[in-house]
Chains A and B, each alone.
Chain A
Amino acid sequence: MNGTDSVFVFLSTVLVFIMTPALALFYGGMVRSKNVLSTSMHTYAMFAIVSVQWVAVGYSLSFGATNGGMLGGLIGDFQNAFMNGVGFDPSPLYATTIPHSLFFMFQLMFAIITPALISGGFAERIKFSSFIVFIVAWCFLVYDPIAHWVWASNGWLYKLGALDFAGGNVVHISSGVTALVAAIVIGKRKNKAAARPHNIPLSILGVGILVLGWYGFNAGSALGFNAVAMNAFVTTSLAAACGMIGWTAFEWIRTKKPTVLGAVSGVVAGLVAITPGAGFVGVPSSMVIGLLGGAICYFAVTTLKKKFGYDDALDAFGCHGVGGTVGGLSVGLFATLSVNSAGANGLFFGGGFTLLGKQAIAIVVTYALAGIVSFVLLKVIDKVMGLRSSEESEAVGLDISDHGEEAYSGMAS
């Protein structure tokens, strides 16, 4: 046990927590005023639901691996169900210098923010009850298996040597791809052309707080206070900065206006892109990755979305799916052993195509699992209980129809 590592990861954990309320602000500002409570609830509900799922079996299914897991190691077993064997003593497998219960909490914060990200895809038109059923099933069938494959000591992508420092696959690609599938299955919003963000300052504040949380998300993923953690701290900050530059530059050239919502979306894109590589790439590389993330996500949410016509309302796929893909492939290009001896060398650092190939496999597998399972789940839920709000609910707004409240009450009093 190491006191410094423990304090560092504790601080990182509480920072990751604040990403959840920050996401509620970011998403809430981008919807119409009649749906801001519904959208915020999609995020906050994850705190309640995933916390319980994680204590009960989620953590164990993701990380329970001392006996080799279940289904031939495709998923963890129930050895840590209800925190059995998870206490103050370090885990024998993970983060061996900090309390096991602290590692548990750090991972819980990731499990909470991930399904919250999905809600950007079906915002403003999903029935709240169906949303809950979908998310609970998704945690069991998508998040826990992917977390196991990528991060558990016997996970097959981990053993393959695919690198995912802080959750490019587990958090961003899985949620982004699911959001895309959900946007297609549930269909477009009525009156979509008239939908505009109702409170951009709220979104701007949300992104500011997301950056704060992301420092804990990425630096904390070193699970100790060391050179890799501080490298991740710096690369995260620089990629966020360059993400803003990348997005804004292209937007400014193309539509002549550097919008503020665009600039902060670029920050998010840069952060997503650096997430898988924060502890494996150097600072100059992180700046290139940030620029690429910002620029490519800009084209994804403008050109790609328009071309295919899906209604990913808050661009969960455009920022997280696409940014995560850019980031995962970038690790295969820019990773270097000089930053992290537990990593590998990418194409530009003398490692050849080996790592790039492994990164591509991990990405394809994540797309396939998240895409196929989510599609089937959404179709089944649609058949059984209906996925989409009634036309009347959607017109009135989900705040009043599903939650019985208005964010900004109609009459001054």
Chain B
Amino acid sequence: MNGDGKKFTKIDIITRPESFDALKDALNAIGITGMTVSNVLGCGMQKGYKEYYRGSEVEINLRPKVKVEVVVCEVPVDKVIDAALKTLRTGKVGDGKIFVSELSNVFKIRTGEEGWAALQDIE
């Protein structure tokens, strides 16, 4: 069982929490209606910062980020990537990463549909 021969792509976007609303609007604008969002902690090139608790210094290098997971079939992957890059790029360290990967199948739990049909927003 492998969908219906279509290609499904999962796009993970990890970025600044304050940019999330703009990203959501940009994705909606190109027809992405479903997404999964989590608050995550992460580190990359962006340096950490120091916190102080009752005067004692604590080095923090994990910063709060938001992770947006989107699976597309019809919407071209390039369009999603373009929208995300355009919306999220500030040019400063800490803008985040986009990971693109291929999926083998998709199921919709309510109806049992799979593949392309499982991704359609039909009541």
Contacts and interface: CB of A to CB of B under 8 A. Distances in A.
Residue with the greatest number of chain A CB neighbours at <10 A, chosen from B16, B17, B18: B18
A400 B62 CA distance: 13
A411 B40 CA distance: 10
A190 B18 contact: yes
Interface in B43-60: 49-53, 60
A149 B111 CA distance: 73
Contacts of B21: 191, 193-194
A400 B53 CA distance: 12
B41 A404 contact: no
A91 to B, nearest CB: 41
Nearest to A405: B51
Given A410-B41, A410-B62, A410-B64, A400 B49 contact: yes
Interface in B34-78: 41, 49-53, 60, 62, 64
Contacts of B60: 410
A412 to B, nearest CB: 10
Interface residues of B, number: 14
Nearest to A394: B18
Interface of A: 190-191, 193-194, 395, 400, 404-406, 410-411
A411 B18 contact: no
Interface of B: 16-18, 20-21, 41, 49-53, 60, 62, 64
Question: Chain A at the B interface: mostly helix, strand, loop or mixed?
Answer: loop
B59 to A, nearest CB: 12
B57 to A, nearest CB: 9
B52 A395 contact: no
A194 B25 CA distance: 13
A400 B51 contact: yes
Contacts of A411: 41, 62
Contacts of B50: 404
Given A191-B18, A395-B16, 5 more contacts: A190-B18, A193-B21, A194-B21, A395-B18, A405-B53
Nearest to A395: B18
Contacts of A395: 16-18
A378 to B, nearest CB: 25
A406 B18 contact: no
A404 B51 contact: yes
A404 B18 contact: no
B74 to A, nearest CB: 29
A405 B54 CA distance: 10
Contacts of A400: 49, 51
Nearest to B53: A405
A404 B18 CA distance: 19
B119 to A, nearest CB: 27
A408 to B, nearest CB: 11
A199 to B, nearest CB: 16
A411 B21 CA distance: 24
A405 B41 contact: no
A190 B17 CA distance: 13
Contacts of B49: 400, 404
A404 B53 CA distance: 8
Contacts of A404: 49-52
Contacts of A406: 51
A195 to B, nearest CB: 11
14 contacts: A190-B18, A191-B21, A194-B20, A194-B21, A395-B16, A400-B49, A404-B50, A404-B51, A404-B52, A405-B52, A406-B51, A410-B62, A410-B64, A411-B62
Contacts of B18: 190-191, 395
A191 B20 CA distance: 10
A127 to B, nearest CB: 17
A191 B50 CA distance: 25
Nearest to B18: A395
A406 B51 CA distance: 8
B92 to A, nearest CB: 9
A193 B18 CA distance: 11
Nearest to B16: A395
Contacts of A190: 18
A201 B111 CA distance: 39
A405 B56 CA distance: 11
Residue with the greatest number of chain A CB neighbours at <10 A, chosen from B17, B20, B49: B17
A405 B52 CA distance: 6
Nearest to B20: A194
A191 B22 CA distance: 9
A354 B53 CA distance: 58
A405 B49 CA distance: 10
A90 B22 CA distance: 63
A395 B92 CA distance: 14
A230 B51 CA distance: 49
A194 to B, nearest CB: 5
